[in-house]
Copies of this chain bind each other. A is one copy, B any other.
Amino acid sequence: MLIVQKYGGSSVADATRVKNVANRIAKTYQQGNGVIVVLSAQGDTTDELIAKAKEISSNPSKREMDMLLTTGEQQSVALMAMALAELGVPAISLNAAQVKMHTSRDYGVARLKKIETGRIESELYRKNVVIVTGFQGINRYEDLTTLGRGGSDTTAVAIAAALNADKCEIYTDVDGVYTADPRIVPNAKKLEEITYSEMLELASLGAKVLHNRSVEMAKRYNVELVVRSSLNESEGTTVKEETEVEKMLISGVAGDDNVARVSLLKIVDKPGKAFEIFNALGKNNINVDIIIQSVATDGKRNISFSIDKDSLEDVKKIVEANIKKWGVAGVEYDENLAKVSVVGAGMVSNAGVASKVFEAMYDADVNINIISTSEIKISILIEKDDMKRAMRAIHDKFNLGN
């Protein structure tokens, strides 16, 4: 088998951990597998480099920032190659320029465009474990770029896709994907398998195990992802197109308590009005989540939408600058909200799921502010203080703990 393994910064934070990870890699290699390893920078290295830059400039050039930060992963991969050599495992480290991981030109938030496979393939042919820098690439100017959040996971999936690897293992500090956050729902259960779509919904809903970017890429190229812990031998959760276990009604419950709602009241009901509003928000990089539009009465409508609370100040400015142009009679903001979501591929064919959610909320005395449903997800906006109670109630109602 050809296996891609990705280890995050905390898994390689110091010499002891580097050696532990090297042992795990060696085991996979000695079982006869081809192994490609993708690494992040060690522990706090990236933060330390950012601090160094800030000492010199409060607003450093993004190009130079990427030139600086990419040294972090290069150090990790070199150290890991040394650790493997100590174990008698032939290994070679490669940076983004050596692999030729082409990205868009955008420094700091580059998108991977094409990974050349020649160098990696020839090193695999020589029976080397190939250790590749995550999070980075080169753009058309041969400048180094970084991929932004979730970058190393994305690198790993992209390499697995480019080389048609049998699987891509993402090592992290949790055992896998759970039916809910175990810190909130104590009897949450680890899932053996989950589909890409379910994982995408869970990831975007606050289950911070895998970054959406990497799941999207895995789905597009049909890369089998395994999320598992670098600290134990637990099997982890497999993310793939179709799960082999019987399709579960619900795979998990996720909560996000950093949500705000904006309601634009009594907007003159003209075609293109919603486009005008959300286009203005999009241009300013505001990610709008749930949108609810009321039925028009007297030629007027209300439009409500939820956003990440961190965007609220930006949204307020945009709304105030456009309030006349849009023909909005009034605005309401609510920043003490949480979103609880129930995700499951089995939901499509089962009309009873929504009513069960409502029943659970009624039993738990939780007031629902906004509801949004999709084929595999039901999200409700509720008061922030109700979030944990709501999650537990839903988890119990669907018997996810067994």
Mark A residues whose CB is within 8 Å of B. 15, 18-19, 49, 52-53, 55-57, 60-61, 63-65, 67-68, 70-72, 74-75, 77-79, 81-83, 85-86, 92-93, 95, 97-98, 119, 142-143
Contact = CB atoms under 8 A, between A and B. Distances in A.
Nearest to A72: B71
A28 to B, nearest CB: 19
Given A74-B71, A85-B57, A63 B79 contact: no
Nearest to A70: B74
Contacts of A142: 97-98, 119
20 contacts: A15-B55, A15-B56, A18-B56, A49-B75, A53-B78, A53-B82, A56-B79, A56-B82, A56-B83, A57-B82, A60-B85, A61-B81, A64-B78, A64-B79, A64-B81, A68-B78, A71-B72, A74-B74, A97-B98, A98-B142
B61 A82 contact: yes
Secondary structure at the A interface, as helix, strand, loop or mixed, is helix
A142 B60 CA distance: 29
A67 B95 contact: yes
B61 A15 contact: no
Contact of A64 (B63, B70, B82): B82
Contacts of A82: 53, 56-57, 60-61, 64-65
Contacts of A15: 52, 55-56
